[in-house]
Chains A and B, each alone.
Chain A
Amino acid sequence: MAQEERRQVIDRELTMSRAMVEAIAHEMRADDEVFYMGEDVADYGGIFDSTEGLLEEFGRDRVMDVPISETAYLGAAVGAAQEGMRPVAELMFVDFFGVAMDQIYNQMAKNTYMSGGAVNVPMVLTAAVGGTYNDAAQHSQTLYGTFAHLPGMKVVVPSTAYDAKGLMHNAIQDDDPVVYLFHKRLMGIGWMPAPDGPKTPVPEEEYTIPFGSADVKREGDDATVVTLGLHVHRALEAADALAEDGIDAEVIDLRTLVPLDTETIRESVAKTGRLVVVDEDYRSYGVTGEVIASVAEDGLADLEAVERVAVPDVPLPYARPMENEVVPDSDDIESAVRSAYDA
């Protein structure tokens, strides 16, 4: 009976936004020192549904709408975190980090180190990322590599509701600053339909997913596709198409960029010999280069072929034909895997 109940619980499917909110609400119930700050997070419930329902349960003191003053409120989150509170501060679009970057990379990310560990900053910075809906260059970036490049921030990128909840619990409980980047297209927002895949069974109880544990979303022997966020789903779609031709791709979802689970990637490459890295961020100096380098450093002999699929080094264009051109789709991934396979 108990087992039957549990099955029913786990059969419950949530959108990624509901799963995130569930974890935040759980942490807020458990700890009065957890609070949420951001633009349009209270009455609106987050433009991308990231806080829907939190105001009703926790009130304005703990679900705080703030002025359009990112430097002030992200910096205030840093200050409150240094006092021992556990703020979650939301940047509506990751693209807006530019107006407040000092508080993020010079304060939040460095104060622990510069204080020799005397200070710590247990906060979560959440931000919506990603394109695919023609919002142009100031509202469509992922910037995964930017945050991962600068030392002092743990960087989380969920691709499913199950992962989003576990990773959010871990993020709020973590004693270091965590940047939690959620892809708009995966949230399950009414006006921006999600692909199949991010809506998954999610247990009601609390669970954590440790940082630095990549997830093999599909097993395969012929090629290793390493990716994150929306592109996990595009890679799985490509893998299905490749399977029809007898090419069996393994799809690894990084889940966190800092720390990076190089072990899972290397094990997979040792098996397949072929590495394809797929990223919705810019191509140069980013995630694709980093993943390939980390494999090459210790597993060069395993590498028979390498491909990378990413946004070419251009800002994201507005018009549909051009955005489709630069944001990798499943066809791009499929042909990269074929190239690696035929190499």
Chain B
Amino acid sequence: MVLVSELREMYEDMVTARYYEERLQEEYLEGKQPAFDISAGPIPGELHLAAGQEAAAAGVCRHLRDDDTATAPHRPHHVAIAKGVDLKRMTAEIFGRENGLSSGKGGHMHLFDPDAGFACSGIIAQGCPPAVGAGLAAKKRNEDGVAVAFLGEGAISQGAFLESLNLAAVQRLPVVFVVEDNDWAISMPKGRVTDVADGSQRAAGFDMPGVRVDYDDATAVYDAAREAVGRARAGNGPTLLEVQVHRRMGHFMGDPESYRPEEDVEAAQARDSIERLAEDLRGAGLEDDDLEAIREDARERVDEAIEWAKEQPEPEPDAAHEDVFVNPPSGVTTEEPTHELAGGDD
């Protein structure tokens, strides 16, 4: 049984993420017409959108607090939104602005918001070890914080993921690994990169629970995640949770997807996890007007964030030289060390 307020929150996260990415797509493509040039336009570089994957993030993050940690991969927006990352500053970062989360240094694949307990990495599966580290810190401090590592199904063949499962298991750490299975690792369908259709079976090799949610149903994800996050928070160790999601677009904006059968794209488009959750909400007594009000509110927040981001100044070129260290080396010093070396005074 899921509280209606929880369903509402998930719906809000999902429609926010979906609309946010629709807007980003528009902005990204502006300036890339008629010929697509990746370095042109208001948002340069690669852009990986998560449309179709929102249910996993929304269902899991409902169980997380601000002091819990989530790490995401190169496709991070839906997780960031569900984890409560500052939408305006995240957007400014994606636009490469001075007031972005990372002062314009990171961009869309490298969003860091310590206040929301969120970080991501552009390197496949490399968010897993830091999530294990966040879980380790919570355990060492006798706190009940939980860390969640989000990754794609393409990442489950990567050493960093498998090593992280083992370390989290053997140390009984409060970590949940969430595999968003969108069937495709760029051009490679899951069946060609692993013989194990159910990725959660990887868990068995590490003697940890493995659960698969077979459909991108936010409510089902919510239920599965309640158990996994609860187990972690109670000190009973990690869980591997795989969620079937779908990829509505190319791997990155500009991906021609010529490798992908048209039926597969159509099937992905036909699945609508947002409408599915809307059904659950209607079942719980919400009217269409209520849902529209949530969507309208989300659109307002997103539009406002994008408008704000675009008004922010670009960073000064010289800012590129800052932030390599928090305590920058100031060059050669002739100062004597302040401590005496022990012994050796003959």
A residues sitting closer than 8 Å to B (CB atoms) are 39-40, 42-44, 47, 65-72, 95-96, 98-99, 132-139, 190-193, 312-315, 317-326
Contact = CB atoms under 8 A, between A and B. Distances in A.
A47 to B, nearest CB: 7
A319 B158 contact: no
A320 to B, nearest CB: 6
For the residues of B in contact with A, the DSSP-based class is: loop
A136 B107 contact: yes
B317 A321 contact: yes
B123 A68 contact: no
Contacts of B274: none
Contacts of B317: 321-322, 324-325
Contact of B320 (A43, A72, A190, A322): A322
B311 to A, nearest CB: 15
6 contacts: A72-B157, A99-B126, A132-B39, A138-B121, A192-B37, A318-B107
B194 A133 contact: no
Contact of A134 (B44, B123, B125, B315): B44
Interface of B: 35-39, 44-46, 93, 96-97, 100, 102, 104-107, 109-110, 121-126, 154-155, 157-160, 185-188, 192-194, 254, 258-259, 314-321, 324
Contact of A68 (B107, B157, B321): B157
A95 B121 CA distance: 13
Contacts of A69: 157-159
Contacts of A139: 45-46, 109, 122
B124 A68 contact: yes
B110 A43 contact: no
B188 A192 contact: no
A313 B100 CA distance: 23
Contacts, number: 144
Given A139-B122, A319-B315, A323-B320, 15 more contacts: A65-B187, A66-B193, A68-B157, A70-B158, A71-B159, A99-B124, A99-B160, A134-B39, A137-B105, A138-B110, A139-B109, A191-B36, A318-B93, A321-B316, A326-B320
A39 B192 CA distance: 11
B320 A40 contact: no
B121 A44 contact: no
Contact of A133 (B39, B126, B155): B39
B50 to A, nearest CB: 18
A27 B107 CA distance: 40
B46 to A, nearest CB: 6
Q: Which 5 A-B residue pairings sit nearest by Cβ, starting from the closest?
A: A319-B96, A319-B104, A318-B107, A134-B44, A325-B317
A265 B328 CA distance: 36
Contacts of B105: 136-137, 315, 317-319, 322
Contacts of B46: 135, 139
Contacts of B187: 40, 42-44, 65
B36 A67 contact: no
A133 B157 contact: no
Nearest to B186: A40
B157 A318 contact: no
Given A317-B105, A319-B97, A325-B320, A134 B45 contact: yes
B315 A133 contact: no
B110 A136 contact: yes
